[in-house]
Amino acid sequence: MLNIPGVSQHSVTTSLGKMVYYTADGVPWLSRSESSPSSPTLVFLHGFGGGSSAYEWSKVYPAFASAYRILAPDLIGWGESSHLERNYHIDDYLTTITEFLEKTCDQPVTVIASSLTAALTIRVAIARPELFKSLILTTPAGLSDFGSDYRRSFFAQLVSTPILDRFIYDFGVANELGIRNFLEQRQFACPERVYPEIVSAYLASAQKPLAEYSALSFVRGDLCFDLSQYIEQLTVPTAIIWGQKSQFTGPDIGRRLAQMNPTAIKAFLVIEEVGLTPQLELPAVTIGLIRRFLNSELA
């Protein structure tokens, strides 16, 4: 569980099990005499990868807790939420993200989401635009965009091999050295920004029972798709933030996606010297940009 002052853990039940979420509902964000806030809601959705969880946004969302109702869930198969002994598919997350919004929000909300989850959120917003006020997305990509097929990559093929897949997860992901190496070499642009708390949070999530099922589904490419086939259907006002040194999908992919729908995508900004997760690598910069979008471009 995240240990942030005034933030507590709750859960809702989805069709795939319990979905845990964190919200700022105590001191210092609310006084002891206050009831549930009537402030607008911000929903923060983490990306996928070994050890992912709501921790990914934990350096950002407290900055908004005094003015907004904050919801930061662990997606199904990650963090403290239910872990199923099954291979996960795209529809699992389209469905449970929708169910989470329906069960926790009674008005259109701003969703702030990361990487592949951000791309999936675009598809949810296309199918159910009435659930959304706006989107603020970091590096939204389907990882098989513009006709590329991630599933044909060497690593995806390697992880698709039975028995070998569990070996790779146990020895390459679900241990401290594997987590640190991935964060330093692949996720962050600057390795010195990876500090022990980040490694510990990712490791705790990666070592949950059955956590390998969601992680391997992601690495095999079962959750990947071509976002360029959907992006033109988006009508919800959207801002996109892209790490200039994102190793998985560079900013050129982001620019091409944004140019396909300039009506809905109001802003596209690249942050220099940052990788896949600016919300962890440069949280203060990410907070400033989110605040800017909330106050202007997406109004």
Q: Confidence class of residue 189 from pLDDT cuts 50, 70 and 90?
A: very high
Digit-coded pLDDT (tens) for 209-264: 999 999 999 988 899 999 999 999 999 999 999 999 998 899 999 999 999 999 99
**Which are the contacts of 36, defined by CB distance < 8 A and separation ≥ 6?**
25
Domain boundaries, the chain: 7-295
Return phi, psi of residue 16, to 5°.
-110, 10
Fold exhibited by the domain 7-295: Rossmann fold (3.40.50)
Residue 293 has pLDDT above 70, yes or no: yes
Q: What is the pLDDT of residue 163?
A: 67
**Average pLDDT over all residues of the chain:** 92
Residue 35 has pLDDT above 80, yes or no: no
Model pTM?
0.95
Distances (CA, A) of 252 to 136, 256, 268: 18, 6, 11
| Minimum mean pLDDT range among 17-21, 145-149, 277-281 | 145-149
Q: Confidence class of residue 107 from pLDDT cuts 50, 70 and 90?
A: very high
Digit-coded pLDDT (tens) for 49-100: 889 999 999 999 999 999 999 999 999 999 999 999 999 999 999 999 999 9
Largest interatomic CA distance in the chain: 57
What is the β-pairing status of strands 17-24 and 7-14? Answer: antiparallel
Q: What order do you get walking across the sheet with 7-14 strand by strand?
A: 7-14, 17-24, 69-73, 41-45, 109-114, 132-138, 238-243, 265-271
Q: What is the pLDDT of residue 108?
A: 96
Q: What is the pLDDT of residue 158?
A: 66
Evaluated on CA atoms 253, 255, 259, 264, the torsion sign reads: positive
